[in-house]
Amino acid sequence: MHTLSRPRFVLIEPAQLGIEHEAIDGAYDTTIFEDLGNGQTKLTFIGNEPVESAKNSGQMEGWNQILDKVAAVVTKLAPAK
């Protein structure tokens, strides 16, 4: 079990993940995971562009796909109740 006692911020450059960097320098997305207790975690995503622009560019669809994959992995890792 992992518990976050204080926020930890980690900047990951796209190249570290083998991703070609297409965004404007300094335009980073922020993802915050907050432990709510009782095995629940709140995820807050702050994107680097307005919502309408993210929808039109496909960024929102991409993030939804990523979050679905994360949810599937977490579900498999979670202990059975």
Structural domain spans, the chain:
14-77
* 27 touches 48 (CB < 8 A): yes
pLDDT at residue 2 is higher than 50: no
Q: What is the reported pTM?
A: 0.54
Confidence of residue 22 (pLDDT cuts 50, 70, 90): low
Closest CA to 58 of 13, 33, 22: 22
